[in-house]
Amino acid sequence: MAILLVSALCVVQPTRAERLCLTGSFDHQVKTLLDYVKLSDEQLSNILQVPRDLERVFEDHWPGCKVMPYGSTITGLALQSSDIDCYVDIPGEHNENPQVLVAEALEILKNHPDLFTHFEIRPTARVPLLKCVHIPTNVFVDITFSGPFSINSSRVLSHLLHLDERGLELARILKYWGSVHDIANGKLTLPSYAMALLAVFYLQQKNIVPPVTLLQQNATPYEIDHWNTAFLPLEYHTDNKESLYELLGGFFQYYNDFDFENTIISPYLGYPIKKKDFQDLDKFDDFDLYKRNLENGYAAPFYFGYMNIQDTLKHSENIARPNSDRWLALRLIRHLRAAASMYQELSSEEFLSAVLVPEKRLEAGKLTTFWEGGIGGPEDCPKIFQEKIR
313 lies in the same domain as 245:
yes
288 lies in the same domain as 187:
yes
> Considering 308, 326, 344, which residue would you say is the last residue of a domain?
326
Per residue in 271-308, pLDDT (tens digit) is 999 998 888 877 788 899 999 999 999 999 999 989 99
Domain extent, residue 227, equals 166-326
95 lies in the same domain as 126:
yes
195 lies in the same domain as 303:
yes
In a domain, 136, yes or no: yes
Looking at residue 171, its pLDDT comes to 97
In a domain, 340, yes or no: no
Do β-strands 139-144 and 129-134 pair in parallel, antiparallel, or remain unpaired?
antiparallel
Percentage of the chain exceeding pLDDT 70: 83
Domain count, the chain: 3
Cα–Cα distance between 390 and 380 in angstroms, integer? 16
239 lies in the same domain as 360:
no
In a domain, 105, yes or no: yes
170 lies in the same domain as 260:
yes
What CATH number corresponds to the domain at position 92? 3.30.460.10
Per residue in 58-101, pLDDT (tens digit) is 999 999 999 999 999 999 998 887 889 999 999 876 557 888 89
> Considering 147, 182, 211, which residue would you say is the last residue of a domain?
147
Amino acid at 158: S
CA atoms 300, 85, 335, 272: torsion sign: negative
Q: Taking residues 12-17, report their average pLDDT.
A: 35
Per residue in 213-252, pLDDT (tens digit) is 999 999 999 998 899 999 999 989 999 999 999 999 999 9
198 lies in the same domain as 271:
yes
Record the pTM.
0.85
In a domain, 152, yes or no: no
> Considering 288, 311, 326, which residue would you say is the last residue of a domain?
326
Residues 6+ apart with CB under 8 A from 213: 268, 269, 270, 286
Per residue in 106-120, pLDDT (tens digit) is 999 999 999 999 999
196 lies in the same domain as 101:
no
90 lies in the same domain as 180:
no
The DSSP element (H or E) to which 344 belongs, if any, is helix 325-345
49 lies in the same domain as 9:
no
| CB atoms closer than 10 angstroms to residue 45 | 10
185 lies in the same domain as 294:
yes
In a domain, 28, yes or no: no
In a domain, 61, yes or no: yes
